[in-house]
Amino acid sequence: MSKKVLKVRKSQTIEGTIKVPGDKSISHRAAMLLGMAPSGLISTVTGFLPSEDCLQTMRAMQSLGASIQRPDSTTLVIEGAGEKFTEPKKVIDCGNSGTSMRLILGILAGQNQMKSKLTGDESLCRRPMNRVVNPLTLMGAKISAEGKNGCAPLEVTGTKLKGIVYNSTVASAQIKSCLLLAGIFAEGKTVVTEPEKSRDHTERIFNYLELPFTADRLKYTISGGHLPKPKDLRVPGDISSAAFWLVAAAARPGSFLRIENVGLNPTRTGILNFLLRMGAKIRENVDEDEYEPSGYIEVQGGGLRGTVIEGADIPNVIDELPILAVAGALASEGVTVIRDAKELRVKETDRIAAMAENLRAIGVEVEDYEDGLAIRAANKIVGARVKSFGDHRIAMAMAIAGLFCEGEMIIEDVDCIQTSYPGFAEDLEKLTGQGR
């Protein structure tokens, strides 16, 4: 079967106002937490991201007994079943979604005597699960990995978990969130620390849904035995999706872009800080802040210069590093250096290797390190046929590079874009006038 390609050509301006689809991280958490609420009360999620990844989470919660209706593609009407989850009849398929697998594992591990199994696509079955299986095992979980090196498929026999203190050595919101979710079903307190701040969506939704949770800088504590309160929730647009257009507009003089109703959570807005540092003209404004801040971002195109992205800033831009690597190539001067980002090696694909290969293929000078990349500003990039590596963010980053290339950029196998940004091709058309 032939896989879909996306063809992109140079665009003279990036112009317009758009809203990007709902935040992926928040959509996952909304479906999980409200599915875990006690039965009897209904809550509504609006702005849900109707992407493959988030739909896997929705189906998983349905398979545990939560009632979830979807009256339209971005609205979920949920009656939780947290006090009476039932054994899933089928293997839970998480598709391409690491967030679904790692977070749901935390929920399943604490369902006493319930047997369940989690699997995913080829990429997900190669991603490390020991990082969550090991601490869950310390809590008393019974999980056996059928894949090599502790990878999925994962078989779970639910047990009565005990709270532990776990000092994570990786700044990962998925590890933190998995253990805090398990902590809801554990006896006593579960304490998690992380070495640097990762995205705090779990903390915010825990507080909003009135769970007995505290955060003290990098230390998070949940007391077990309480379910989240059912409440309505609005999901803002995903700044990680907005990032592609922000880079395109910032790098193209004469452009003007406005993105409305986008999440402006400070643990996710690193992309704005780095673009500012690279010389971009950006304005942001928070319009609403109930449990997650959201508002608009405006960019006036000017041009960019190289910068250094490293250390404690990395978790805040972890998903934006492929498009920031493209920003480095589109800059008019300097070298953009990305270090301390070895987590990129274990994302949907090895994003360091993938970006190094693709940027070289379009004539950009790149050095790759075990933990990052150095990208020299290229005065010319040449269109080429490049691979997505089955990774949505690599596909979209290369599409943006295509807006600046000589000739034509052909990105292979772009169905993966559906995992986070349904409507990407339509927004490309809207902002650049290019046909699909």
Active-site residue set: 319
Closest CA to 340 of 171, 99, 168: 171
Subset of residues 305 to 334 that bind ligand S3P, contact rule: CB under 6 A: 318-319
Q: How far is the CB of 168 from ligand S3P (least distance, A)?
A: 10
Q: Could you tell me how many residues of this chain bind ligand S3P (CB under 6 A)?
A: 12
Identified binder of ligand S3P from the candidate list 343, 371, 412, 413, rule CB under 6 A: 343
- Name the H helices within 303-418: 321-330, 351-361, 392-402
- Of residues 151 and 403, the one with the C-beta less far from ligand S3P: 151
Q: How far is the CB of 279 from ligand S3P (least distance, A)?
A: 26
Question: Can you state the angle between helices 173-184 and 201-208, rounded to 10 degrees?
Answer: 30
- Of residues 174 and 432, the one with the C-beta less far from ligand S3P: 174
- Of residues 140 and 422, the one with the C-beta less far from ligand S3P: 422
- Of residues 128 and 334, the one with the C-beta less far from ligand S3P: 128
Q: How far is the CB of 53 from ligand S3P (least distance, A)?
A: 9
Cis peptide leading into residue 153 (ω within 30°): yes
Question: Any contact of residue 25 with ligand S3P (CB under 6 A)?
Answer: yes
Neighbours of 311 (CB within 10 A): 11
- Of residues 173 and 280, the one with the C-beta less far from ligand S3P: 173
Q: Would strands 75-79 and 42-46 be described as parallel, antiparallel, or unpaired?
A: antiparallel
Q: How far is the CB of 328 from ligand S3P (least distance, A)?
A: 20
Identified binder of ligand S3P from the candidate list 11, 13, 27, 99, rule CB under 6 A: 99
What string marks each residue from 197 to 216 as x (binds ligand S3P by CB under 6 A) or -? Answer: -xx-----------------
Listed in sequence order, the residues at least 6 apart from 223 whose beta carbon sits closer than 8 Å to its beta carbon are 163, 183, 188, 189, 212, 213
Closest-by-Cβ residue to ligand S3P is 25
- The total number of residues written for the chain in this structure: 436
Report the distance separating Cα 47 and Cα 76, nearest Å: 9
Q: How far is the CB of 356 from ligand S3P (least distance, A)?
A: 19
Give the interface segment with ligand S3P, choosing from 12-20, 132-140, 167-175, 184-192 (CB under 6 A). Answer: 167-175
Q: What is the three-class DSSP state of 13?
A: coil
Q: How far is the CB of 213 from ligand S3P (least distance, A)?
A: 16
Both tokens of 383, joined, read 């269109």
Both tokens of 419, joined, read 């995992």
What string marks each residue from 169 to 188 as x (binds ligand S3P by CB under 6 A) or -? Answer: ---xxx--x-----------
Report the distance separating Cα 111 and Cα 317, nearest Å: 34
Strands (E), 80-232: 92-93, 115-119, 142-145, 154-157, 161-162, 165-167, 186-187, 189-193, 213-216, 219-223
Task: Using CB under 6 A, list all residues that contact ligand S3P.
Answer: 25, 28, 99, 172-174, 177, 198-199, 318-319, 343
